[in-house]
Chains A and B, each alone.
Chain A
Amino acid sequence: MKLQEAHRTATAIFKKRGWKVFKFQRDTWNAYASGESGLVHAPTGTGKTYAVWIPPLVEWMTEQDKAGKAKRAPGLSVLWITPLRALVEDTKLSLLEFCEEMDLPWTVEARTGDTSGTNKARQRKRLPSCLVTTPESLSVLLSYPDFKDSAAGLKAVIVDEWHELLSTKRGIQTELCLARLRKWNPRMRTWGLSATLGNLDVARSALLGTSAEGKLINGGLKKKFQVEAIVPRDMERFPWAGHLGGKLVEQVAERIEKASTTLVFTNVRSQTEYWFNALLMIKPKWEGEIGIHHGSINRKTRQEIEDRLRLGTIKAVVCTSSLDLGVDFSPVDQVIQIGGPKGVARLLQRAGRCGHQPGVASKVICVPTQAMELVEFAAARDAIEQMKIENRVPLRAPLDLLAQHLVTLALGEGFSHKAGLEEIRTAWSYRDLTKEEWGWTLDFIIKGGKSLSAYDQFKRVTRKRGVFSVESRKVERFHRMSIGTITSDPAILVKMRSGKALGSVEESFISRIEPGKNFFFGGKLLVLERVRDLTAYVGLAKSKKGTIPVWGGGKSPVSSELAQSVREKLRDAAEGIFEGREMKAMKETLALQANWSSLPGTNQFLIEKTKTRQGTSWFLFPFAGRLAHEGMAALVGYRMSKMEPMTLSVSFNDYGFHLCSNSDREIGNEEWKTLLSPVDLLNELVECMNLSEMAKRQFREIARVAGLVFQGYPGAPKSGRQLQASGGLFFDVFSKYEPNNLLLVQSQREVLERQLEVERIKEAFTRIQEQSLILNHPDKLTPFSFPLWAESVRAQLSTESWGDRVRKMAVILEDSA
């Protein structure tokens, strides 16, 4: 069959389904046919899947006719990688459906951690034509020596939702796996599917590695987005975080009532529990008609909710990012976002969950939880119009993952010193991996680090005739079980007396609840009975009151792009421009701010000094996101106390930070510029942030990935009891005996980059140096400062020794007893 003819067959099916072929789809088909790789970016629900699924099928059809009509399914030809296990089954079905309509004998199967042992074994004997899997499962496949032969006929790897993987360790794991597959099969094509990002070229490079150029195909179409906020009926001028939302429950309920199926997105899991219960409180008849969905809820329960969404038999689902991704829930006709979206890409993604019919706008209704979020919504709308979308930056050469991957390779085909380094360097994140880093990582898995005693029996990877491999069966077993434990900390399983699993919560939460006390989980009010062996046994509560769990992971900060847009909105307001309903609603509040203090323009930086009951409060407003503000507050406080000894407490939010002191010092323009200087920033930050504690926490993940902590998996028999040690313990031991351990360096770097966003701090400080300072002394709290004051978490700056800290805390406890 000729290529064009085969394409016509595919087009016919489009026609039968009532679709037409878009230009970007045809472009992708042609690029694939000429042997190219690339990245297709478009919002959800635009047919990206068929842009990349049809070409390999069509190619196979053309080959068949050359070799006479074969009706047997080919061996492994396409690997389809998706970030979420939950997506695997759905993806499989929709790929398979198309094959059947085309009347092709292709087999499509799923393989994840959930796939049964028998199926896995069968698959290893004969892989399907297309295997739908996750990065972890692909990595496990690479650890089997015979996988190389099964993958000999591999034509293409498709990576779905690449934007989601890109800046994570799982994305880098994908990069490394692709590097190996390409080494086996240099002509293999790689195609990624991504939502729109600010740095698509980087996204493409990371996917394709250093060896190929590749296409970037825009499937953007002219998808329309509408962002509309619910404006509170009576605007409060001083609302604090989380307070406003509750007043809007009725308005939200009205919207849900009018639509047929609504997704209600919140930013954190605890908010999901709150809103679900709040909605049921005012609409008891919705019991059973609305659902709750977040990452801690039992997978089966989540699956039921997803099925009902697909069928349109559920009124509304309150959810977190757990439903950001996934196959299309066509019946969803309305999306509500509770709280600031924090990012433009995220809001687009969520809005894209509805309005799938071509030409229909994706509309998202935004609900502010504090007044300033109205500005955020207006800013997000501007950013969407100007297509100012966030960048996602891949991590640079994480060695924990490299160590894991090298053991995987050693278990599989093996690798040699020189070719191994070359191969790893074709993965984008490791393109400038130094010889030193490579050598250190090899030492780490071969000798267990630099230190090697005469009696050492360290065994993980051994070298024979130049090839690194694994000999120990124990290492083999542990390693396969450990691949894919990148994701999370061990959690406490929540189980009913009857044995029904409800989901999981973090240990830190459950340890604060006494048996007999109530808490909300999965929309139910439960009573804790006892905790045993990582399981919390619960029953349904009899009384009505309970606590809402606070999960870790926390809030993500407002993105640089969105923060920039917010600053522009305020600048407009300062000039008297109030566009859109949201900004008009904010007019009075912002006027008050201008009246009592100031609204900063683009070249201005606002500082307010106010007397409060706690002492002197300084409020600074860099609009750089909460993480950067946390670091900035600590740093400025540290520098202030070097000028004059003083006790300080700090608080921060996405817009600014607050320093409260017992000193009444007058700080002038010049002094402020010094306090906010980017000079020597990194060193001082390390000194004042208790960085080693943060690094220690970060090290838990690193220890897991690098294979130091063997965690097993939930429900696994407790093997290796003698090999249990926590990541924190490894951190302490390494710090003491091997301070040059590069994994320690990595943990510190990850803290600076990911938790403190040190680049944004630098950027903000540099910007402030060029701005003119407005120092105001309002005699009352202003609309800007009020939320900071109200939220003020009294975090003392702690730079003292262990002993001093213990003594101080002891005294505070003593006083309050």
Chain B
Amino acid sequence: MGRPGPKNGRNFGGLRLKHASNSVEISWQGEKLELWSAKAIHWPAKKLLLVADTHFGKAATFRKSGIPVPESTSQDDCHRLEELVRQTKVDSLVFLGDFLHARDGRTEGVHKELLDWRKRLSRIAVHLVRGNHDLQSGDPWPDLEIQCHREPWTEFKFDLRHHPVGPTAHPFMAGHIHPGFSLKEKSGSSLRSPCFQVGKNRIILPAFGTFTGIKTVKPDRDDRIFMTDGQEVIEVPTY
């Protein structure tokens, strides 16, 4: 028999569901990866942290068009990133596309906030694999010292992309979709949250930005789904 689950682990009908854990470790393509409830993937072997779809400046874009959104969303996202880097002690941070939301969102306020954040994390290397929004909004301000790459970026063992692609021989991680999963009760009520969609050959990350929507996905046959509400990450059955 397998060893008992990690601390606080519980067994539910063959499913191992950790209790109140802010990360889950999975083994994927021969690598150990940690899925964090804060919507990031930690790859310990490479000392690497991956996040997708931050959409910085989205609130600013809205506000510029006269739609009132509280501005503190991006501030919060910066803090969350900082906290993740501190906890995982990584050397590099990779954004899987859609770093900035739109050209209209390149405001002084957003710039200053990101610059402050970058200064606090000056020790690590930061990369961006350009996504569709980045093409429209342009590369980040040079003083942020973010190295930009075209997808797929093949520096590491797996392809790092923004847009997921169809069946491929190269395992990859991507964003773009903003995946979410919906659990339905028999009574008809349902519960929807962002999720990691982990397939045999690809992982799709949830959108990192607070002010971003989610799209309910239909998992493929061999997909594993890890739902997160920002506090906890839980694997759920997909049938």
Q: Which residues of A contact B (CB under 8 A)?
A: 444-445, 447-449, 451, 453-461, 472, 474-475, 478, 649, 690, 707-708, 710, 720, 722-726, 729-730, 733-734, 736-738, 793-796, 798, 802-803, 805-807, 809-815, 817
Q: Which residue of B lies closest to A806 (CB)?
A: B234
Cβ 8 A contact of A451, one of B60, B72, B234, B236: B72
Chain B residues with CB under 8 A of A445: 68
Which one of B14-22, B148-156, B165-173 contacts A? B14-22
Q: Which of A449, A457, A723 contacts B68 (CB 8 A)?
A: A449
Nearest 5 Cβ contacts at the A-B interface: A455-B109, A460-B66, A448-B68, A795-B187, A737-B70
CA–CA, A738 and B65, complex, Å: 20
Provide the bound-state CA to CA distance between A720 and B109, in Å.
Answer: 22
Pairwise interchain contact B186-A812, C-beta atoms closer than 8 A: yes
User: Within 8 Å CB of B46, what residues of A?
Assistant: none
B211 within 8 A of A: yes
CA distance A802 to B67 in the complex (A): 30
Most buried by A among B70, B188, B193, B229: B70
> Contact check: which of A708, A723, A805 meets B61 at CB < 8 Å?
A723
B70 touches A449 (CB 8 A): yes
B67 x A708 contact (CB < 8 A): yes
Residues in B217-238 with C-beta less than 8 Å from chain A: 227, 229, 231-232, 234, 236-237
Query: Which residues of chain A come closer than 8 Å to B19, judged between CB atoms?
Result: 803
The A-contacting residues of B in range 22-69, CB under 8 angstroms, are 58, 60-69
A814-B64 contact in complex given A795-B189, A806-B234, C-beta closer than 8 Å: no
Q: Is A444's CB under 8 angstroms from B65's CB?
A: no
Which residues of B have CB within 8 Å of A810?
12, 15, 17, 183, 234, 236-237
Q: How far is the CA of A737 from the CA of B101 in the complex (A)?
A: 20
The minimal Cβ–Cβ distance linking A812 to chain B, given in whole angstroms, is: 7
Q: Note all chain A residues with C-beta closer than 8 A to B12.
A: 807, 810-811, 814
B25 to chain A, nearest CB (A): 18
Query: Is there contact, CB below 8 Å, between A723 and B236?
Result: no
A708 touching B68 by the CB < 8 A rule? yes
**Contact residues in A for B14 (Cβ distance below 8 Å):** 814
- With A807-B12, A809-B191 known as contacts, the answer to whether A817 contacts B239 (CB < 8 A) is yes
A457-B60, A806-B191, A813-B183 given; A737·B68 CB < 8 A: no
What is the distance, in angstroms, from B131's C-beta to the closest C-beta of chain A? 14
Closest chain-B Cβ to A125's Cβ sits at a distance in Å of 29
Collect the chain B residues with CB atoms within 8 Å of residue A474's CB.
65-66
A805 & B67 in contact (Cβ 8 Å cutoff): no
B210 contacts A by Cβ under 8 Å: yes
| Cβ-closest chain B residue relative to A732 | B210
Cross-chain contact B232 with A803 (CB below 8 angstroms): yes
**Among A453, A720, A730, A806, which residue has its beta carbon within 8 angstroms of that of B65?**
A720
| Given contact pairs A448-B69, A813-B239, A814-B14, A806 touches B109 in the complex (Cβ within 8 A) | no
Chain A residue at minimal CB-CB distance from B60: A457
In the complex the two chains form, what is the Cα distance from A448 to B14 in whole Å? 50
Cα distance A812–B183 in the bound complex, in angstroms: 11
- Are A813 and B70 touching (Cβ within 8 A)? no
Residues of chain B lying within 8 A (CB to CB) of residue A720: 65
Contacts of A793 in B (CB 8 A): 187-188
* Contact in complex: A457, B232 (CB < 8 Å): no
Find out whether the CB atom of B237 lies under 8 angstroms from the CB atom of A813.
Answer: yes
* Contact partners of A798 in chain B: CB under 8 A: 189
A737 touches B63 (CB 8 A): no
Given contacts A803-B234, A806-B227, A810-B237, contact A456 B109 (CB under 8 A): yes
B227 touches A725 (CB 8 A): no
Of listed B63, B67, B69, B184, residue having the most chain A CB within 10 A: B67
- The answer to whether residues A794 and B17 also contact, given A456-B63, A457-B63, A734-B70 and a CB cut-off of 8 A, is no
Complex Cα distance, B102 from A803, in Å, reads 34
| B13–A814 CB distance below 8 A | yes
Q: Which of B179-218 contact A (CB under 8 A)?
A: 183-189, 191, 193, 210-213
Is B109 a contact partner of A475 (Cβ separation < 8 A)? no
Expressed in whole angstroms, the minimum distance between the Cβ of B56 and any Cβ of chain A is 13
Q: Roughly how many angstroms separate A461 CA and B189 CA in the complex, as a whole number? A: 40
Query: Would you give the shortest CB distance from A446 to chain B, in whole angstroms?
Result: 10
Q: In whole angstroms, how far apart are the Cα atoms of A475 and B184 in the complex?
A: 39
B159 lies within 8 A of chain A by Cβ: no
| Contact B17–A475 (Cβ < 8 Å) | no
Provide the residues of chain A in CB contact with B185, threshold 8 Å: 795-796, 809, 812
CB distance from A270 to the nearest CB of B (A): 15
Since A461-B66, A725-B69 are in contact, a sample of 14 more A-B pairs with Cβ atoms closer than 8 Å, ordered by chain A residue number, is A448-B66, A457-B60, A725-B58, A733-B211, A793-B188, A795-B189, A796-B185, A802-B232, A803-B20, A806-B183, A809-B184, A813-B239, A815-B13, A817-B239
Determine the distance from Cα of A722 to Cα of B57 in the docked complex, in whole angstroms. Answer: 11
List residues of chain A with CB within 8 A of the CB of B183: 806, 809-810, 813
**Interface contact B210-A458, CB-CB below 8 Å:** no
Binary interface encoding of chain B residues 82-109 relative to chain A, with 1 for a CB under 8 A from any of its CBs, else 0: 0000000000000000000110110111
Please give, as numbers and ranges, the residues of chain B lying within 8 Å of A453 by CB-CB distance. 71, 109
Do residues B210 and A733 form an inter-chain contact, with CB atoms below 8 A? Answer: yes
In the complex, which of the residues A449, A649, A810, A811 has the most CB atoms of chain B within 10 Å of its own CB atom?
A: A810
B100 to chain A, nearest CB (A): 11
User: Residues of B contacting A812 with CB < 8 Å?
Assistant: 185-186
The closest CB in chain B to the CB of A693 belongs to B189
Chain A: minimal CB distance from B147 (Å): 25
Determine the distance from Cα of A812 to Cα of B191 in the docked complex, in whole angstroms: 14
**Chain B residue at minimum C-beta to C-beta distance from A725:** B213
The residue in B15, B102, B187 that gathers the most chain A C-beta atoms within 10 A of its C-beta is B187
Within 8 A of A (CB), among B128-172: 136
